[in-house]
């Protein structure tokens, strides 16, 4: 029988309570279920790092090697994981990464190894390198959609966990629903069993979708382009990210680099110039939609005939984000119906106008409030877009 002998909260719990007291987050019974498992993991990590003075051992129960947080969109999974990661002492090395980006790194490493004729042991070497560099891996938006990733994960995580790496993951799906309906899924089942054995599986059952609440209250389309529109967009970004550190990252699309200058907690900011004035296209927009649940498209100008190419890219971008259910926050020089005045694409652009208007409605904003399992790709398609 386990006995809780700890009286003082861990630094992770203290940070959570401080955020509550400061009003950055609100009390939520659904999130409360995740506090104890994350605190137990925190204690285990700092104890093994030789920092016994930080916390007192709280229980004698068998320890798990990580925590898997799952639940609906906007329930606070990423926020809890980030607080956990931020509260760890510097002596506990950690890496916080979107799962999609992590798998791109794995594939890039394996591709280079194959070119060098070292494919057979490459995955083992990669796992050992990751384990040496990071005592804790924090994965956001954990999901599996293609057979290549499915076949890799079992071997990769077995090595990571055997080397003592702790894992914290957020997902919209419980482990048993991962890669559901995928090709050769029977070969993926041992990985699911590994997750269930090694990680504490925690469902966040909160009824409130904080992301939906924020976007519904604050709005998502701001025009004309002035200081007020910029201020409101900044406020929405701050609320969605909960004051989390903002960082830059790079997406890899068919070997090309797509820079993201500002992102945090699944929200990314882009300028119109970056996404519509450069030679970008559907592949880039699909990658963005897969990685980020909310996209800011800022400084959208009025477009005339001389900018029909930019208008065409805007049409493709909006279609892609709309089809994926991605939330879109826009700052523009005109309302949707006033954005384009040109001959080419004029008829087609009316669909973009309609979608930009619909993407502001509460019905659209709630559209992905329930998790939607992405379908597996056919054959052995590469995981990149």
Confirm whether 345 is domain-assigned.
Answer: yes
Instruction: Mark whether 67 and 126 lie in a shared domain.
Output: yes
3-state class of 141 per DSSP? coil
CA dihedral 123, 98, 162, 381 (to 10 degrees): -40
Q: Kindly report the backbone phi and psi dihedral angles of residue 141, in degrees, each rounded to the nearest multiple of 5, phi listed first.
A: 60, 55
pLDDT for residue 209: 65
Clarify whether residues 170 and 287 are in a common domain. Answer: no
Average pLDDT over residues 183-192: 91
Q: How far, in Å, CA of 304 to CA of 88, rounded?
A: 52
In sequence order, the 6+-apart residues with CB closer than 8 A to the CB of 197 are none
pLDDT, tens only, 286-302: 999 988 889 999 999 99
Q: Is the pLDDT of residue 3 over 60?
A: no
Say if 57 falls within a structural domain.
yes
Whether 373 is in a domain gets the answer no
**Statement to judge: residues 256 and 142 lie in one domain:** no
Cα distance between residue 370 and residue 202, in whole Å: 17
Last residue of a domain, one of 152, 186, 204: 204
- Stated length of the chain: 385
Query: Confidence class of residue 6 from pLDDT cuts 50, 70 and 90?
Result: very low
Q: Which of 12-16, 73-77, 348-352 has the lowest mean pLDDT?
A: 73-77
Residues 214 and 320 placed together within one structural domain of the fold: yes
- Say if residue 138 is in the same domain as residue 274: no
The predicted-structure confidence for 87-110, as pLDDT tens digits, reads as follows 999 889 999 988 877 888 898 899
Do residues 243 and 348 share a domain? yes
Upper half-sphere CA count for residue 252 (Cβ side, 13 Å):
14
Domain boundary among 180, 204, 228: 204
- 200 belongs to a structural domain: yes
Domain boundary among 204, 220, 254: 204
Residue 176, pLDDT > 70, answer: yes
60 and 200 belong to one structural domain? yes
- For residue 220, CA distances in Å to 39, 73, 229, 235, 303 come to 36, 18, 10, 11, 20
pLDDT of residue 141: 81
What's the pLDDT score for residue 345?
77
- Cα–Cα distance between 245 and 251 in angstroms, integer? 19
Tell me if 376 is assigned to some domain: no
Distances from the Cα of 192 to the Cα of 33, 198, 320, angstroms: 22, 10, 31
Q: Looking at the domain assignment, is residue 378 inside a domain? A: no
**pLDDT tens for residues 295-345?**
999 999 999 988 989 999 999 999 999 998 999 999 999 999 999 987 777
Classify residue 228: in a domain, yes or no.
yes
Q: Would you say residue 60 has pLDDT above 60?
A: no
**Structural domain containing residue 359:** 210-365
Report how far residue 369's alpha carbon sits from residue 385's, in angstroms, rounded to the nearest whole number: 24
Domain of 186, CATH number, reads: 3.40.50.300
Based on the fold, state whether residues 76 and 149 are members of the same structural domain. yes
Residue 287, SS3 per DSSP: helix
Residue 73 banded pLDDT, cuts 50, 70, 90: low
Give 379: exposed, middle or buried? Use CB within 10 Å, 0-12, 13-18, 19+: exposed
Query: pLDDT class for 50, splitting at 50, 70, 90?
Result: low
Whole-prediction pTM? 0.61
- How far apart, in whole angstroms, are the C-alpha atoms of residue 251 and residue 256? 8
Same domain? 217 vs 181: no
196 and 238 fall within a common domain: no
DSSP assignment string, 101-127: HHHHHHHHHHHHHHHTT--TTHHHHHH
- Across the chain, what does the average pLDDT equal? 84
Q: Please write the tens of the pLDDT for every residue from 354-370.
A: 999 999 998 888 875 33
Residue 380 lies in a domain: no
Same domain, residue pair 134 and 276: no
Which region holds residue 68: left if phi is over 0, alpha if psi is between -120 and 50, else beta?
beta
| Residue 384 banded pLDDT, cuts 50, 70, 90 | very low
Judged against a pLDDT cut of 90, whether residue 223 lies above it is answered with: yes
Give yes or no for residue 385 having a pLDDT over 60: no
Those residues whose C-beta lies under 8 Å from the C-beta of residue 172, and which sit 6 or more positions away, are 70, 71, 72, 73, 141, 143, 371, 372
Claim to verify: residue 163 and residue 243 sit in the same structural domain = no
Say how many domains are in the chain: 2
Q: In this structure, what CATH number is given to the domain that contains residue 310?
A: 3.40.50
């Amino acid at each position: 029988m386990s006995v809780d002998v700890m009286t003082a909260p861990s630094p992770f719990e203290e940070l959570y309570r401080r955020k509550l007291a400061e009003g950055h987050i609100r009390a939520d019974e659904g999130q409360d279920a995740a506090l104890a498992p994350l605190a137990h993991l925190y204690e285990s990590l700092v104890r093994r790092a030789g920092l016994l003075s930080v916390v007192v051992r709280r229980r004698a129960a068998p320890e798990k090697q990580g925590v898997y947080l799952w639940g609906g969109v906007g329930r606070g999974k990423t926020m809890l994981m980030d607080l956990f990661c931020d509260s760890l002492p510097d002596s506990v090395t950690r890496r916080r990464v979107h799962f999609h980006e992590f798998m791109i790194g794995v594939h890039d490493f394996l591709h280079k190894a194959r070119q060098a004729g070292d494919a057979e042991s490459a995955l083992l070497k990669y796992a050992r390198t990751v384990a040496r560099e990071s005592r804790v891996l924090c994965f956001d938006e954990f999901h599996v959609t293609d057979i290549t990733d499915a076949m890799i994960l079992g071997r990769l995580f077995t090595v990571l966990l055997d080397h003592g790496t702790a894992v914290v993951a957020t997902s919209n799906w419980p482990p048993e629903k991962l890669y559901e309906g995928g090709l050769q899924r029977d070969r993926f089942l041992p990985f699911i069993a590994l997750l269930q054995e090694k990680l504490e599986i925690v469902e966040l059952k909160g009824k409130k979708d904080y992301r939906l609440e924020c976007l519904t209250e604050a709005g998502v389309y701001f025009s004309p382009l002035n200081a007020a529109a910029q201020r409101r967009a900044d406020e929405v970004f701050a609320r969605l990210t909960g004051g989390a550190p903002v960082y830059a990252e790079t997406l890899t699309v068919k070997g090309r680099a797509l820079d993201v200058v500002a992102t945090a907690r699944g929200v990314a900011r882009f300028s119109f110039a970056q996404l519509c004035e450069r030679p970008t296209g559907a592949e880039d927009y699909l990658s963005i939609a897969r990685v980020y649940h909310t996209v800011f498209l800022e400084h959208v100008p009025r477009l005339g005939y001389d900018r029909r190419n930019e208008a065409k890219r805007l049409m493709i971008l909006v279609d892609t984000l709309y089809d994926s259910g991605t939330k879109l926050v826009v700052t523009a020089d005109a309302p949707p119906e006033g954005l384009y005045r040109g001959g080419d694409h004029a008829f087609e652009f009316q669909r973009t106008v309609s979608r930009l208007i619909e993407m502001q409605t509460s019905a659209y904003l709630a559209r992905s409030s329930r998790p939607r399992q992405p379908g597996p790709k056919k054959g052995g398609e590469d995981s990149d877009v």
